[in-house]
Structure 1
Amino acid sequence: MSSYSTVKTLRVSANNKVTYAYRTLGTSTDLPPLVLIQHFRGNLDNWDPALIDALAQRRQVITFDNRGVAASTGRTPHTIADMATDAVEFVAALGLSRVDLLGFSIGSFVAQEIALLRPDLVNRIVLASAAPQGASGMHGWAPDVIEDVGGEVPSPEAYLRVFFTPTDAGQAAGQEVLGRVFASRIEGHDEPTTWATRLAQYDAVAHWGIPNHSLLERLRAITQPVFVANGDSDGMIQPHYSYLLAGLLPHAEIKIYPDAAHGFLFQHCHEFAADVDAFLRE
């Protein structure tokens, strides 16, 4: 099997007049394809190839740039609900009628909305570094976090501070991930995300986090099995939101990974991929 670091970027045009950039790895099986939804300001290149390669051992894995992000056309929406609608359009453009979802960070918000908008489309759901809409304390991120991830020119040092713990093990893992994510692809890079995308996505995050406890009840309508996961030291989306999610979802299981922050799924890529594979095959 080829590696995510070498697969080519493909494009598909949808009924919403958006041309989506995407990549696919693995072969079609009797299992639904696994569609990945990216983090804040992330593009196709920001997925860890080691994670994607591990996930694609048993199934087809699809990553994509949503509307207005990186190489996809259109303008980035300012709400999670619109991002979910655009993601559904992408899945439909590929001719898929049933998928598994893995949403990471802001992608986990989008995954929740997709499950509510089109429950017939979604088989199983993985929510990584996730929070429910309306939870207290999610109205924007802490000043130090947004200073690191929200600047005009993100830096490797800021990435290490937010995505990994300050321990020796955490920083060593972060250096390894930096090498895989930012240095393993030699050609065919994705377009960088723009400042307009950053502003729109942060508007969506802030709107999602306006405290409104009545919105938490919406999670009762997500009846699919859900795997909720996070690092024990995630300062961007704190792990107590994972416990809140798992308690509100009718059919959820949870795992918190040790000595890990926002990038736990890259730091523990092989363990996380094995956990996701076992969950999706249950």
Structure 2
Amino acid sequence: MTAYFDAETATSLGSNGISYAYRRVGPAGGRPLVLLQHFRGNLDNWDPRLIDALATAHDVITFDNTGVGASTGRTPSTIATMADDAITFLESLDLADVDLLGFSIGSFVAQDIALTRPSLVNRLVLASTAPQGAPGMHGWAPDIIKAIGEPQTDAEGFLHGFFTDSEASRAAGMEFLGRIFARTDGRDAETTWQTRNAQYDAVLKWGTPNFSLLQRLAAITSPVLVANGDDDRMILPWYSHLVASLVPNGTVRLYPDSAHGFLFQHAERFAQDVIDFLAT
């Protein structure tokens, strides 16, 4: 099996004229597991350890949505349009039945995909998520947006945003950074300032308080695994419980001494939990 570290980047042309960059690893056949990335993230921001663990059991697809990384076009500023674009990408690969794993802003997109095209989604994994219209989600705390939202980000800012202040979590964060920067050949294009602004606009629109929008999640009929770190300062863990209470078939798992990047800190454990969830 090709490791994610060595996976080549392919492109697929959508009906909207966008050329989508993607990577695919794992056994062919069966239902693909499609991953949706976090704020400002590209193909290289996925942890190879996590992807390889998931790919032991699944055909795993990572991709850059419109305007992100090496994909063409301009990044849209609404979650709904990002979801429509993601559906177009899946159609370009002739995929009509997938499992979705959305992380952070990707989890918002995954929710809208499941609502827009329910026949497409078998099971849904929402990592570090919150429902549209939830109170307290209109932007991130000043220290978080400063850490990850500046034109130039650094390791210290990433560690603050994605890991806790404990020695063990920060050590895991440094190991993660080593893994994602180890690849030197065939790296993805960096995300742009336009992508940053458009994605944060989308986050703010998603987080504008509107209690009536919480009812949307009752229409998601797919089984849902909701996961987060127990000390996420970007999207607080109580939103995980809120999401799970709003969908008809939701389960929550919180991971110890971890924050927004819990799925990288606990890569093998989270991957096995996802594999077990998709197998049930």
* TM category, shorter: over 0.9
State the partner residue of 2:205: 207
Count of residues paired in the alignment: 280
* Superposed structure 1 runs of 4+ greater than 6 Å apart: none
Question: CA shift at 1:72, angstroms?
Answer: 0.2
Post-superposition Cα deviations, 1:151-193, rounded to whole Å, max 9, x if no partner, equal 001111100111111001111111111111122x130000000
Aligned to 1:14: 14
Corresponding residue for 2:270?
Answer: 272
CA separation in 2, counterparts of 1:25 and 1:71? 18
1:179-218 alignment, distance < 5 Å: 179-183=178-182, 185-218=183-216
Of 255, 258, 267, which aligns to 2:256? 258
Aligned counterpart, 1:131: 130
Quote the residue 2:24 is aligned against: 24
Distance in 2 (CA, whole Å) between partners of 1:239 and 1:181 is 25
One-letter identity of the residue aligned with 2:144 = V
Identical amino acids, percent of aligned pairs: 62
Alignment correspondent of 1:74: 73
Q: Match of 1:62?
A: 61
Amino acid at match of 1:9: T
Question: How far apart, CA to CA, are the structure 2 residues paired with 1:221 and 1:194?
Answer: 34
Query: Where do residues 87-236 of structure 1 align in structure 2 (5 Å cutoff)?
Result: 87-183=86-182, 185-236=183-234
CA shift for structure 1 position 35: 0.3
Q: Distance in 1 between matches of 2:196 and 2:161?
A: 17
Taking the aligned partners of 2:41 and 2:90, their CA distance within structure 1 comes to 19
TM-score w.r.t. length of structure 2 = 0.99
CA distance in 1, matches of 2:5, 2:203: 29
**Which amino acid letter does the alignment assign opposite residue 100 of structure 2?**
L
Partner of 1:244: 242
What is the CA RMSD across the aligned residues, in angstroms? Answer: 0.6
Q: Give, in angstroms, the shift of residue 27 of structure 1.
A: 1.5
CA distance in 2, matches of 1:100, 1:182: 28
1:28 CA drift (Å): 2.0
